[in-house]
Amino acid sequence: MPHVTTRAVATVALLSATVVLGGCAPGSGTEKPAPPAAGSTTVATAAPTPEEAQEPAPEPAQPQGAVEAYLAWLAASRVPDVDAACAALSPDLQARMIAELNAGGATQVGTCAEMIAATAALYQALGQTAEVDVEVQSETATDATLFVTYADSGSCGTVVMTRPTTEWILTEQSQECAGS
């Protein structure tokens, strides 16, 4: 069974995000170029040859695996990026998590966004990181089951995910370990 730690995946994700977001940064081709400085030399480049213009387009990015999707959800839930975090939860799981949080009595929330914001604040107040150990129990192109252990608390659980289209969704079949 594959075994992944958050630190290794987070490093890869950070490097990937840096490369991808670099295309969104100022100077990425969306602004007009600055005029050449006095005394500088401008070099013209040739237009691509017909053979170069007909090169195949780069391959589309490979779909994200279940582990990467789970870690992305976990990161979004801790920032919090409520839109991204809620989008990765099935409606039934959102409802169950809201009910469980409200039953705890510490706070009352009515929406997924409120729940994500409240739990992010709680994790931050407790100083708990998003460091987890993830073990893939099973994964196909459309379904996955992960076993997750949180480093700070030792809490664990089974995360059941489905990919009905291109994005992974955490489902209501996800369960905490007994006693967690």
Q: Flag whether pLDDT at 157 surpasses 90.
A: yes
pLDDT at 106: 82
CA pair distance 65, 84, nearest whole angstrom: 17
Residue 42 token pair: 């401008």
φ and ψ at residue 161, rounded to 5 degrees: -130, 155
Q: Pick the closest to residue 144 from 135, 132, 155, 156 (CA basis).
A: 135
Q: The whole model's pTM is what? A: 0.66
C-alpha 118/C-alpha 112 separation (Å) is 10
- Six-digit token string for 15: 């490097």
Residue written as token pair 């991808």: 20
From 85, 56, 90, select the one nearest 72 (Cα to Cα). 85
Q: pLDDT tens across 111-128, in order?
A: 999 999 999 999 999 999
Q: Does the pLDDT of residue 65 top 80, yes or no?
A: yes
pLDDT at 56: 55
- The span from the CA of 96 to the CA of 162, in Å, is 17
What is the CATH code of the structural domain delimited by 66-176? 3.10.450
Quick check: helix, strand or coil at residue 115?
helix
Tokens, residue 127: 């100083």
Q: Is 112 buried (19+), middle (13-18) or exposed (0-12) by CB count in 10 A? A: buried
Determine the residue type at 119.
T
Spans of all domains in the chain? 66-176
Q: Which helix (H) or strand (E) holds 147?
A: strand 143-150
Structure confidence at residue 62 (pLDDT) = 61
